[in-house]
Structure 1
Amino acid sequence: MPRMPHVDSYYAASAHPAPERPRLQGQERADVCIVGAGFAGLSAALSLTERGYSVIVLEKARVGWGASGRNGGQLSGAYATDMSNIRNWVGREDARRLFEFGEEAKRIIARRVEKHGIDCDLVWSYLHAANKPRHFEELRKMQAEWAEEYGYNGMTLVGRDTLGQHIDSPAYAGGLYDPNSGHLHPLNYCLGLAAAAEAAGVRIYEDSAVTSLDTGTSPVARTEEGEVRADYVVLCGNAYLGNLVPSIESKVMPVGTYIGATPPLGRERALGLLPTNAAVCDSNFVLDYFRLSADWRMLFGGRVSYSTLMPPNLPRVMRARMLRVFPQLADQTFEYTWGGYVAITMERTPHIGRLGGNVYFAQGFSGHGVALTGVVGDILADAVAGQAERFDIMAKLPHTTFPGGRLFRTPTLVLAMIWYRMRDYMP
């Protein structure tokens, strides 16, 4: 049976060579079985192995096949919702701890890239772009709040008159520059994590989708050709976990997001567009995000789909979005366009928890998974090892079930998003 390849993307075309891992066949035993070989699963596997556990990872396709190998590569702190919301939900002290988790997430990536020699084009430079004056005021408040409440300094508010220092575009009213966030090649980072995990003793099986899971006192994960018996199971399938565990499936919604990559523009032209080589994310609810690749392409993302349907004529639609930001790229088309699903929660915060005493899960990173998956992997490893303090803090975050059940959840969300799309057009 043929293997499921990575999606046809710039990332796959520029990925470092990686071995083809075997399918799971027969019965295996491990201390911990992890479902999903993306950022979260591999981070948890590496952390657990460093603590002395034997670990098996089961992946339905290839390492980094899902969101971890397709995303925008943007590496930022905090969460997809405002910290003021988090403070209202969990209180001031736990909000501070949760903010620090986001900062630790960035340090984990920097540390692993250096320790394991992961070649993933890591760059520290980030710009929050304000589409409108009201967005600029919101960024001003965010800068003050993060400095006063969380001790996060170093961000610079950039008005329209000096915005050209970071981006050459007529589309924005200003921005907030953060030199302590950045971007990377996500698939190469994921492949590097897998190599580091295997070097530490983790066994990774590809093309080994879990078809059923026993979550009792002795968990068993079964595939078409084998099974893994373990003391603990950690579920990190996120948007691609499907209905394997119905009790947590209703807390997340798979949302399509899409990226286009131009041909190489050349260093001078590329840095003329983004002089500080920053990853940029705008302030709309239905947002655009973009950055330069290491070979000086424009990687432009956006065009969120809440219906799970691929937009028709995706290259044309994505190019039109890019030209609204960079009209000077009118001579460019996309060499690659691709998409995939991220899992969002209603509250736009990660959903972690346990099922019984020995099955853990992490899902719903809501667009902030490049960074947060690393610290969540560590937190899950802590919990398995009996150190649940950080796990319990993150598990305090509330998570609302998406309305409508499996049949009506998507159309209900599509209707709800109409209001937010309309608000993006308001002054």
Structure 2
Amino acid sequence: MNLLHVNDRAGEYPGSYYAATRADLAPFPALKGAAKANVCIVGAGYTGLSAALHLAQRGYDVVVLEAHRVGFGASGRNGGQVGSGQRQDQVWLEKVAGREAAKALWSLAEESKALVRDLIRDHAMPVTFHPGVAHACWSDAEVRDTHAYAEKLHRDYGYDQLEPLDRDGIRALIGSPVYKGGEIDWGAGHVHPLNYAIGLAAAASKAGARLHEGSEVLNIRHGAHPVVETAHGHVTCDHVILAANGYLGHLEEEVAARVMPINNFIVATEPLGDRAKDVLSKPVAVADTKFVVNYWRLSEDNRLLFGGGESYGWHFPDIIKTVSKPMLEVYPQMKGVKIDYAWGGTLAITMNRMPCFIRPHRNVLSASGYSGHGVAMATLAGKILAEAVAGQAERFDLMASLPRPRFPGGVALRWPMLVLAMTWFSMRDRLGL
């Protein structure tokens, strides 16, 4: 079974709010026959498109192969949040990597947000960067930890964009009594994720990269000049970049052993009109402290876009039922509101929730496994991959130096073992532990 096909129709975006409001971009032709390039990139999400853009700007001849459409995967289906920091916090990074490396990783994360904003501006992309991401805490202990961490970031990293919220503050923002407090990160933000991917694709194409949609990669023959094969053509190249994230399948076992696909889901309500101010009093995005995170924001036409629930099998469940449960827990006033769109997507996680940067072969580079923190970091990853191809691998090596544990059981058994673990943590969420 192939995640590229099991839940979606070939060559089509899912029936999401994002697809319904996407910017115009003419389809790119499928690869046919033999082609040559300096670099062949597998996957046209944020990582692959950013790598293609930055390589083309450096003068490299680049071919991008996408099985369906640009931004088809997690890049075009996610919550759109452009978060601060790495997926693990600075306390964890200081313990694992040391203070010097932790500061370098913080600087990379800050650069990743700036890169998203700069690319949107410099290429006149059809997307707006909206500032503000709130973090909503379920317990008083989480509120204390959140506020203490904000003080640490200000003291040790000079980050002054966090506004603490007490219980009254979070309720005034969110319009729900279930949270005990939190904060707003005004240095973070949110975007229309598919239009951002489309903007990257248009920029990469304009810079000279050759993009091919409907060109699923079936095999890679490794060697001094790798050959990347599709059903109707092949690309002979000097370097390969693997940027397929949760849809990589078995193309590269060294990556697959460390990166696990999981499914997540979002619904979009009908436009709420004046009721929107009772959901969010400010135009920020929100994520809470559940292990299986709830996240939401208002669209530009005042729909509630609410994400929640995960699944770990091949097929998507009843998405409206899956997401409505956590949505109504936060917003019982949404009961009876019409759901206009419901969609799922496959992202990728790692054992330690840090992205997996790896060089599985001498001339093959891979970055994936952003663990729900990929809008900014995947964009920067593409730039870092481009640097590494050009022989400037310091930043790639920094990311690759972080622990990259394999999932227990290897590629064959990682999925059932993950299901057991995730089911346990999901149960803890339901019990309020």
The TM tier, using the shorter chain, reads over 0.9
Q: Which residue of 1 aligns with 2:5?
A: none
Q: Which moves more between the two structures, 218-227 or 77-86?
A: 77-86
Structure 1 residues 146 and 308: alpha-carbon distance in aligned structure 2, compared to 1, 3 A threshold: farther
SS of 2:297 mapped into structure 1: strand
Partners in 2 of 1:386 and 1:153 — Cα distance?
35
Q: CA deviation at 1:399?
A: 1.3
CA distance in 1, matches of 2:111, 2:195: 21
Q: Distance in 1 between matches of 2:84 and 2:168?
A: 27
Equivalent position of 2:163 in the other structure: 156
Cα deviation code 1:117-155 (max 9, x no counterpart): 112232011101101112112211221222222221120
The one of 267, 283, 289 aligned to 1:283: 289
Structure-2 change in CA distance of 1:365 and 1:205 (3 Å): same
1:72 partnered with 2:79: yes
Matches within 5 A, 1:378-393: 378-393=383-398
Aligned pair partner of 1:416 in 416, 421, 426: 421
- CA offset at residue 3 of structure 1? 4.8
Q: Which one of 305, 317, 321 corresponds to residue 322 of structure 2?
A: 317
Q: Which runs of 5+ in 1 are unaligned?
A: none
* Residues 173 and 369 of structure 1, relative CA distance in 2, 3 Å threshold: same
**Contact 2:255–2:358 at 8 Å: present in 1 too?**
no
Alignment correspondent of 1:293: 299
1:356-413 Cα deviation digits (max 9, x unpaired): 3211011100000111011111111111111111111111110111112333222211
Q: Does 1:146 align with 2:153?
A: yes
1:7-406 map, 5 Å? 7-266=14-273, 268-311=274-317, 313-406=318-411
TM-score, length-scaled by structure 1: 0.96
* CA distance in 1: counterparts of 2:188 and 2:422, whole angstroms: 28
- Once residues 312 and 145 of structure 2 are traced to their aligned partners in structure 1, the CA distance between those partners, rounded to angstroms, is 25
Percent identity of paired positions between Structure 1 and Structure 2: 44
Task: Check whether the contact 2:112–2:377 (CA below 8 A) recurs between aligned residues.
Answer: yes
Partner Cα distance (1:55, 1:132) in 2: 49
CA distance in 1, matches of 2:231, 2:280: 48
SS of corresponding position for 2:34: strand
How many Å separate the matches in 2 of 1:30 and 1:314?
A: 41
Aligned letter for 1:306?
Answer: Y
Moved segments of 4+, more than 4 Å:
none
Partner secondary structure for residue 339 of structure 2: coil
State how far apart, in whole Å, the 2-side matches of 1:304 and 1:339 are: 9
Is the Cα contact below 8 Å between 2:15 and 2:341 reproduced in 1? yes
- Letter of the 1:341 partner, please give it: T
TM-score when normalising by structure 2: 0.95
Question: 1:307 deviation in Å?
Answer: 3.3
SS at match of 1:27: strand
- RMSD of Structure 2 on Structure 1 (CA): 1.4
Residue-by-residue CA offset, 1:29-69 (whole Å, 9 max, x unaligned): 11111110000000011111111111110001110111101
Residues 278/64 of structure 1: CA separation in 2 closer, same or farther (3 Å cut): same
1:219-258 Cα shifts (integer Å, max 9, x gaps):
1111111111111111100100110111211101111100
Cα shift at 1:206: 0.5
**Would the aligned equivalents of 2:86 and 2:105 in 1 still touch at CA under 8 Å?**
no
CA distance in 2, matches of 1:413, 1:210: 27
What SS class does the counterpart of residue 235 from structure 2 fall into? strand
Say whether the 8 Å CA contact 1:15–1:187 is kept in structure 2: yes
Aligned residues: 424
Superimposed CA distance per residue, residues 258-299 of structure 1 (whole angstroms, 9 cap, x where no aligned partner): 000001112x32133211111100001111000111111100
In structure 1, how many angstroms separate the alpha carbons of the residues matched to 2:69 and 2:96? 37
Partners of 1:21 and 1:146 in 2: how far apart? Answer: 44
Contact persistence 1:86–1:397 (CA under 8 A): no
Distance 1:305 1:176 in 2: 29
Q: Residue 256 of structure 1 aligns to a residue in which SS?
A: strand
Q: Distance in 1 between matches of 2:293 and 2:339?
A: 19
Residue 317 of structure 1 deviates from its aligned partner by 2.9
Deviation at 1:422, TM superposition (A): 3.6
Unaligned runs of 5+ in 2: 1-8
SS at match of 1:335: strand
Contact in 2 for aligned 1:351/1:395 (Cα 8 Å): yes
